[in-house]
Amino acid sequence: MALDPVRLAQALIRCPSVTPHDAGALKVLADVLEPLGFTCHFLPFGDVMNLFARYGTGSPHLCFCGHTDVVPPGDEKGWTHPPFGAVIENGRLYGRGAADMKGGIACFIAAVAGFLSANPGFSGSLSLLITGDEEGASVDGTVRVLPWMKENGHIPDVAVVGEPSNPKMLGDEIKIGRRGSFNGSLTVRGVQGHTAYPARADNSLPRLIAMAQALLSHEFDKGTKFFPPTNLQITSIDVGNSAYNVIPAGGSLKFNVRFCDLWDSRTLEQRIRSALDAVSPDYELAVHCNAESFMTKPGPFTDMAVAEIRAVTGRAPALTTGGGTSDARFVHAYCPVVEFGLINETIHRMDENAALDDLAMLTEIYARILARYFSG
């Protein structure tokens, strides 16, 4: 059965599924998957609807993970074409989700349709885990579906996350892991007073500034083979003071750390507190880790993916761990996972788009990975 990935991507884009609203996107997928022989399970958690679909019960079992939710389009007047219009112009498909990642989902399903048509005796398993909560809080999506999959015997042997992984050209990169993400809120307190009488006050801002400098100048590591160096960025400084002649009662700053596989959230917090203690013990620190770092060890599965991507694009993708977080951070606890999809240059921007040629090539890459993986 031939299935056009462009038409399916258009149908998905025309569903304005801004997190957490599904807007019919998952039904579009189920209506395509069920005739192919998939059993579809709609899994609501909180305000989020998720879809798990499986073909077959045998092994090996490959799962494709993705999301149909998208970020808001912003001011629609700034778009050349309506963000949910799925307009094609000059060989490109425009719309919110074209690259991130409705286009990638459409390519995988088109590849699956071709694979099943060419392999009527297929005895393995194919599945899709599609959430509506990747662009949001990520608390009622993939992270909740995976335990359900485990309870019901659906954990795959390997997984592919279809996030747009390529910076400029299809075949640039495969993500084999991601850095951890760690947030901190630092507060330093003093005593408010008049700037003309500093002895009657305690100005905490010099301590806050010194602590900010200690954080920014601290070298955590030099990175590892597949991870760049750990990076700390201060994202906010606030003293709540609009007057020139008032010493504020205190101040605070917020920071985010993207950390490599030399750390976990516990050891990273210890290192940060040590750096702050060297300045002053008088502070309050609240921390939260969004994601631990992880990596799928390069091996036969990654080698196979690299080979098939190179066969289609002529480029051998680099194995990388850069960028933000993705739902692969949840999947890796259950099975090896890699990320490969479209180009991420226009994601979350006005006029998000994907080249029709890239959609065709990505479909071919997925088809070749399926054929190679299930051939043993």
- The enclosing domain of 314 has a CATH number of 3.40.630.10
Residue 185 in this model has a pLDDT that exceeds 90: yes
Residues 21 and 165 occupy one common structural domain:
yes
Residues 226 and 272 occupy one common structural domain:
yes
Instruction: State which amino acid sits at residue 154.
Output: H
Residue 374 in this model has a pLDDT that exceeds 80: yes
Q: Which of 263, 291, 319 is the last residue of a domain?
A: 291
**pTM for the whole structure:** 0.91
pLDDT at 2: 82
Residues 22 and 111 occupy one common structural domain:
yes
In the set 69, 135, 173, 261, the catalytic residue is: 69
Residue 101 in this model has a pLDDT that exceeds 90: yes
Residues 245 and 302 occupy one common structural domain:
no
pLDDT at 47: 95
Residues 320 and 343 occupy one common structural domain:
yes
Residues 43 and 130 occupy one common structural domain:
yes
Q: Domain range for residue 270?
A: 180-291
pLDDT at 376: 76
Q: Is residue 134 among the annotated active site residues?
A: yes
Are the CB atoms for 180 and 264 separated by under 8 Å? yes
Q: Which of 273, 291, 309 is the last residue of a domain?
A: 291
Are the CB atoms for 263 and 230 separated by under 8 Å? yes
Instruction: State which amino acid sits at residue 238.
Output: D
Of the pLDDT bands very low, low, confident and very high (cuts 50, 70, 90), residue 39 is very high
Q: Is residue 69 among the annotated active site residues?
A: yes
Task: Encode pLDDT of 317-326 as tens digits.
Answer: 999 998 888 9
Residues 15 and 118 occupy one common structural domain:
yes
pLDDT at 308: 97
Task: Encode pLDDT of 274-318 as tens digits.
Answer: 999 999 999 999 999 989 999 999 999 999 999 999 999 999 999
pLDDT at 324: 85
Residue 167 in this model has a pLDDT that exceeds 90: yes
Q: Name the residue with tokens 């799962």.
A: 63
pLDDT mean over 106-119: 97
Mean pLDDT for all residues in the chain: 96
Q: Name the residue with tokens 């009622």.
A: 140
Residue 76 in this model has a pLDDT that exceeds 80: yes
Q: Which of 248, 273, 291 is the last residue of a domain?
A: 291
In the set 22, 100, 133, 134, the catalytic residue is: 134
Rg (CA), the chain: 24
**Full DSSP string of 1-21:** ----HHHHHHHHHTS--BTT-
Residues 319 and 354 occupy one common structural domain:
yes
Sign of the Cα pseudo-torsion (313, 314, 316, 321, in order): negative
The first and second tokens of residue 285, run together, are 């620190």
What DSSP state is assigned to residue 202? Answer: B
The percent of residues in the chain predicted with pLDDT above 70, rounded, is 100
pLDDT at 132: 97
Residues 132 and 164 occupy one common structural domain:
yes
The percent of residues in the chain predicted with pLDDT above 90, rounded, is 97
Instruction: State which amino acid sits at residue 294.
Output: F
pLDDT at 165: 94
pLDDT mean over 145-170: 97
pLDDT mean over 227-246: 95
Domains contained in the chain, number: 2
Query: Residue 230: which CATH number?
Result: 3.30.70.360
Task: Encode pLDDT of 129-142 as tens digits.
Answer: 999 999 998 999 99
Residues 81 and 220 occupy one common structural domain:
no
In the chain, what is the straight-line distance between the N-terminal and C-terminal CA atoms, in Å? 23
Beginning with the edge strand found earlier in the chain, give each strand of the sheet holding 92-94 in spatial order.
88-89, 92-94, 353-355
pLDDT at 1: 63
